[in-house]
Amino acid sequence: MLGAEPATMLDPELSLLAFQRRVLALSGDPRVPLLEQLRFLGIVTSNIDELYMLRMAELRRGAVEGPDDGPARAKLDVVESTVRALMQEHWRVADACLRAAELHGVHVRRWASLSDQQQAALREEFAREMQPALRSHAITYSPGHPLPHLPHLGLSLAVVYREAADSRLRLAEHELPGDVPRMWRVPLTAADVIPVEEVLRANVTTMYPGVLVESAHLFRVTRGGDLRIDDDPAIDLLGAVERATALRPLNPAVRVEVERDTPAHVSALILDTLRRDAVGRDLELTVTDVQRVDGLLDLRCLANLPLPGGGTLEYEPFQGRVVVDPSACMLNAIRECDLLLHHPFDSFDDSVSRLFEEAAVDEAVTEICVTLYRVGTPSRIAAALVRAAQSGKSVFALVELQARFDEAHNVNWARAIERAGGRVVYGLPGLKVHAKAALIVRNEADGERVYAHVGSGNYNSRSGRQYTDVSLFTARAGITNDLRTFFAALSGARTGVPEAPAPLTGDGLVAPHQLREALLASITREAEHARAGRPGRIDFKMNALADREMAQALRSAADAGVQVTLMVRGICILAPLSSDTPHGFRIISVAGRYLEHSRVYRFENGGAPEFWIGSSDLRPRNLRRRVELLVRVHDANAQRTLDTLLSRYADDATAWELRADGEYYQRSGDTSAQDLYARDVSYDQGATRLHSTTGLVQRTPRS
């Protein structure tokens, strides 16, 4: 891969694209049900959209500012070439999925393949359901003509026509209404569909009576995803985020997708329209060419094909296990022992959401503090915070308003919590608060007691069902005392100004002022153990490894004899050397039904293992530009749970391994770590009993 620095370092953008290939492989995996294959195709579409929204403009600016033969230009060329190859594979897999859908009676039809009767019926439906909502916007070769706004990620049709046979070409743009289904049912068939653009293209002449329509071509514009917000602490951040979010759809374009047969002059005019639009608002346009697409634009639509649900075409419904019996109290169970849960196999809603809902109505609970990053709507947790504040409890929420693409939800919940009487801080100037932590204070018979929850995932029920994450529930003083310090800093309780937490002194590590240095010290300590002949081993599970300092430290530890196993879902800039033994240094990536999202850090520590869980990946932004939190796991049962987790993922028979050449190779087995956990849940749900004191559901040992 490009960008070696030193030779074991891989390029982060190319590594991210390699992750998209692993997701795409699920769409072509015959073991994956067909409806799920189609959903994975849509996920890849969304991920590529996000790559353009967040990274491509910066890469292009770097190429423009540097020499034509410089490294920035070379990197951009390789990235764009890799994207083109990925998109070709994307459509090839989509085509195979469409052929598989035909075996189940669902065909995606073209207009020309329809009978006269079917075309007539669709013309009537078009005139009734769609034509009244269409508005024509002129795109012209004449300077000074008002420009249409080409929508972000919307589908538009460029119509080429002439007023008369000898007049000049004109171009009009029609935005496809967002409330109209992308796929229309074909009349007189059981389940055939036709893309809406086919219907519009075939009937566009009805909207232009008396002119000569030559052709019509679908296109799609992707705009940058950044928010332009001043970091001045004196500004009204809530209002600034609201305004910036409303203006995001007007950001400059970063990509234009067109159908393969779109004429060059049509593509050029679309690009010129975008350029003049950007110049008119004093913005920079970085896209200079169109991206020609084989087949359908925006493959997310395939997830809505009318295939029969259930059966073998989609994953079986899954319900995570309930760890604390519904008749028991969550806080009482946590008081008896730490709980380390693995979502979604341990139900998120029946643990994390339930904790907040019980605390909201518990008369003995006096205070709730929480960090909210991606809340979602609806949100049982945010609604519980509103109820708690309304009942007179002290509620503090750090709501990160700049959680990318979730700003609007977060703004709405921040206002709701404030209206209910809670106190809200909207983030810190220059830093995103990415930590996932909560603190609950309760008056009990023997005095005040503090409870904590720290996790790797967001306080979001939807992601709690779709992502794998770990959660620690504890009343251990080493963590709860640290969280008091943590929330005191975020709330400004001590200085009057919200600020990033100072280094913690108990069982917590925080970024940006402590975490990086502490992890580096632990990695160095592991190398010292190995050199001295003591057990030296590092097992990390995370979403991304993109920090060069961390990667180099791990490389050095492996060179010292430490057994290093890294389970990295996405970006990984570190590759093994060809001299590494398979078991001495392994880098593994798992892709499956659930998005791998848990962060677990284990150090062997000479035979006295240390375990940490929390919110942080090993990326520069996590370690240097965000507020992150890891906490140490002491409980022996919880440590065994984490050991099992790390072992299962390291040995996942379907995982991908990163080799010294920078390429990923998939193992040839059939059973994944996610499969094993799902089987455990199925077994446990039929073999449980209730502990009479704690309310914990106990598992009957397997014979």
Please report which confidence band the pLDDT of residue 698 belongs to, taking 50, 70 and 90 as the band edges. Answer: low
Q: Is pLDDT at 7 greater than 50 in this prediction? A: no
What number is the average pLDDT over the span 84-99?
96
Q: Is pLDDT at 576 greater than 90 in this prediction? A: no
For 161, the enclosing helix (H) or strand (E) is strand 155-162
Most confident listed range (174-178, 633-637, 698-702): 633-637
For the annotated catalytic residues, the residue numbers are 434
Instruction: Give me the pLDDT at residue 130, please.
Output: 87
Q: Per residue in 119-167, pLDDT tens?
A: 999 999 999 988 888 877 766 555 445 456 788 889 999 998 888 888 8
Quick one: tokens of 231? 């970091």
Q: Is pLDDT at 230 greater than 80 in this prediction? A: no
Q: Is pLDDT at 231 greater than 80 in this prediction? A: no
Distance between CA 657 and CA 567 in Å, rounded?
9
Q: Is pLDDT at 226 greater than 90 in this prediction? A: no
Q: Is pLDDT at 700 greater than 70 in this prediction? A: no
What number is the average pLDDT over the span 233-261?
75
Hey, what CATH class is 12-101 in? mainly alpha
Q: Give which of 155, 163, 264, 278 is closest to 218, Cα–Cα.
A: 155
What number is the average pLDDT over the span 557-577?
94
Distance between CA 669 and CA 588 in Å, rounded?
14
Contact 344, 425 (CB under 8 A): no
Distance between CA 462 and CA 391 in Å, rounded?
27
Please report which confidence band the pLDDT of residue 702 belongs to, taking 50, 70 and 90 as the band edges. Answer: very low
235 phi and psi, to 5 degrees?
Answer: -80, 160
Q: What is the dihedral of CA 500, 505, 507, 508, to 10 degrees?
A: 10
| Bridge pairing between strands 212-223 and 253-259 | antiparallel
Q: Give which of 540, 580, 539 is closest to 561, Cα–Cα.
A: 580
Please report which confidence band the pLDDT of residue 391 belongs to, taking 50, 70 and 90 as the band edges. Answer: very high
What number is the average pLDDT over the span 375-395?
95
**Please, what is the average pLDDT of the chain?**
89
Which region among 116-120, 140-144, 363-367, 660-664 has the lowest average model confidence (pLDDT)? 140-144
C-alpha 579 chain-centroid distance: 35
Hey, what CATH class is 330-506 in? alpha beta
Fold type of domain 109-295: polyphosphate kinase like (3.30.1840)
Burial group, residue 528, by CB count within 10 angstroms (0-12, 13-18, 19+): middle
Q: Per residue in 423-458, pLDDT tens?
A: 999 889 889 999 999 999 999 999 999 999 999 999
Instruction: Give me the pLDDT at residue 442, please.
Output: 98
Q: Give which of 621, 631, 372, 625 is closest to 490, Cα–Cα.
A: 372
Q: Is pLDDT at 278 greater than 60 in this prediction? A: yes
Please report which confidence band the pLDDT of residue 569 belongs to, taking 50, 70 and 90 as the band edges. Answer: very high
What number is the average pLDDT over the span 258-273?
92
Distance between CA 106 and CA 476 in Å, rounded?
56
| Bridge pairing between strands 136-139 and 169-175 | antiparallel
Q: Is pLDDT at 242 greater than 80 in this prediction? A: no
Please state the pTM of the whole predicted model: 0.92
What number is the average pLDDT over the span 671-690?
80
Instruction: Give me the pLDDT at residue 593, please.
Output: 96
Where are the chain's structural domains?
12-101, 109-295, 330-506, 510-699
Distance between CA 597 and CA 615 in Å, rounded?
9
Distance between CA 226 and CA 245 in Å, rounded?
9
Return the higher-pLDDT residue of 150 and 501. 501
Say if 12-101 and 109-295 have the same CATH topology.
Answer: no
Instruction: Give me the pLDDT at residue 137, please.
Output: 73
- Contacts of residues 278-281 at CB distance under 8 Å and 24 or more positions apart, as own/partner, are 278/252, 278/253, 280/147, 281/250
Domain 510-699 architecture: 2-Layer Sandwich (3.30)
Most confident listed range (144-158, 582-596, 647-661, 670-684): 647-661
Which region among 207-211, 351-355, 460-464, 531-535 has the lowest average model confidence (pLDDT)? 207-211
Instruction: Give me the pLDDT at residue 305, please.
Output: 95
The region, left, alpha or beta by phi > 0 then psi within -120 to 50, assigned to residue 145 is beta
∠454-459-464 over CA atoms, to 5°?
100
Q: Per residue in 180-205, pLDDT tens?
A: 899 999 999 999 999 999 999 999 88
What does each C-alpha distance from 433 to 70, 95, 477 come to in angstroms? 36, 42, 23
Look-up of token digits 């930590």? 435
What number is the average pLDDT over the span 370-378?
92
Amino acid at 82: T
What number is the average pLDDT over the span 650-675?
95
